[in-house]
Each structure stands twice: as C-alpha cells, then as structure tokens.
Amino acid sequence: MSNNVLYIRDEGQGRPIVLVHGWSCPGQFFQAQMEALGSRARCIVPDLPGHGKTADRVPMTIEAAADELHAYLADQELNEIILCGWSMGALVAYSMLERYGSNRFSAVVVLDMSPKVLNTPDWQNGTLSGLTPELNDHFLDAIVADWKKLPSRIARRLYAEHLDPAPHLLEFARLEIARADPALLRPMWASLTRQDFRETLKTLELPFHLVAGLQSQLYGPGVHRWHEENVPDFHLHRFEKSGHAPQLEEPARFNELLLRLIDP
C-alpha cells in the first residue's frame, strides 16, 4: 500500500457492494454484512481517513475520502456497484457521485442520515439534538479535550433510544470507538459538518434506498419526509427496532435488503 491510499478490505465473490462506515466507527462495523454476503457479493469496505488502518495516510476530508475510494473502484474496473453509506459514509458516497457521476453504480443505500447535519434557519432536519454551527464549534473543541468520556456516550447513541442494546453490541461499539485518535476524528467531523448534499440528491439518477431506524437518536421523521418529497427514485425502509445502526441492530433484515439488490 502506498502512503496515500485508503485501507480497504475487499472480500467475497459476485456483485460488488461498497460499505462505507460512519464517524468514529471504522469498517469493522460492517463485519456482519461481510460474513453474510461474502458468498454472493464482493464486499468492499474502506477505513475512511482518520479511522482504522487508514489513519492519517489520506487527508481528513469527505472529498479526499471520495477521491481515494473512487480511484480504487476505477482501478479495479468495477461497475454495477451497490453503494451503501452509513451516517458519514453516506456523505462520502454523495461526494463521490457528485464528483465522478453515477455510471459505475446501480443503486444507493443509506443508513439513517441527513444530507445536511447542521441545523440552520432554512434547515431543521439536521441532528435531533439541534446541532447548529455555533454548538458545533463547542463540540469540535470537546472532541480532543473530553475524549475519555465520549466513546461510551457515542456508543449508546448509536442504538435505539427506548430499547436496551445487547451488551455485546454496546461493548463492541465502545471499544472500537475508544481505539480512535480524537486528533484525527476532529478534522473529519469538521469536514462532514460542512457538507450539504440536498441539491445533489434532488437530481440523483439512481434508485435510492433509505434505511430509517425509527428509534434513531440522531435523525427523525423530518429527514424521511424530505427524502420522499425530493429524491426522484426513492424507497423508504422502516426499521422499527433500530436506532442509528440498523446493520447492527437488525442485521438479518438489513442483509436481506442488500441481497435483494444484489440479486433482484
């Protein structure tokens, strides 16, 4: 591997599916999908900049992540790709589509994400916590300063608000997040909160599947309605027992959705 490429796990045989993880939650958060789909699909799972084995070898921006991931897909000459992005990973997927077009892809799957994370006077479908640019400045300062407290808080917020997550899932998330370097996570958070892909999604030329955790602590029904009203070929999948991480909370059902797209 050169000093300026993403670390990518590329395993399995069949239709290519790209699984792009969220902030502070590296590629291991798609392990259940790699195990379930490997006999039917070629699973391509990057560690994004600032995360996992990629660490600081790629600039810590959404755009750099999109450039490096697309370069890998082009180098492998892959087409008819199912592009799946979870949380921040959805923004990387949108950036890749915006910068390089949709010709290599056959469908987009997004797990519990808004096209714009920050709430502003013209946009109230960012985080349910009401994160504004001003509040975000305070959080950016806290990522490094308060890191010891954050992994357990972030881990709990991944899961359904009114259900107790399985202890092993909670501990898995906490341990993986705690391994991260907050000094690298900070610029990635700054980059993801600068993004606004509303106009990109309004002209998307691919089938778009939103996997909505109905007990999400991060994004609510307003996000679902906005997509229904604005994304051309839109399909909503409601996961009643999930929060922000349906691939972990209801993996069998999520895997079935991906399998239907892999082999329609």
> Residues of the chain whose pLDDT is less than 70?
1-4
**pLDDT tens across 112-130, in order?**
999 999 999 999 999 999 9
pLDDT, residue 140, reads 97
pLDDT, residue 4, reads 60
- The pTM is what? 0.97
Cα–Cα distance for residue pair 113/79, rounded to 1 Å: 25
DSSP states of the chain: --TTS-EEEEE-SSEEEEEE-BTTB-GGGGHHHHHHHTTTEEEEEEEPTTSTTTTTSS-SSHHHHHHHHHHHHHHTT--SEEEEEETHHHHHHHHHHHHH-STTEEEEEEES--S--S-BTTB--S-TT---HHHHHHHHHHHHHTGGGHHHHHHHHHS-TTSPPPHHHHHHHHHHHHTS-HHHHHHHHHHHTT---HHHHHT--S-EEEEEETT-SS--HHHHHHHHHH-TTEEEEEETT-SS-HHHHSHHHHHHHHHHHH--
pLDDT, residue 3, reads 46
Return the bridge partners of 264, or none: none
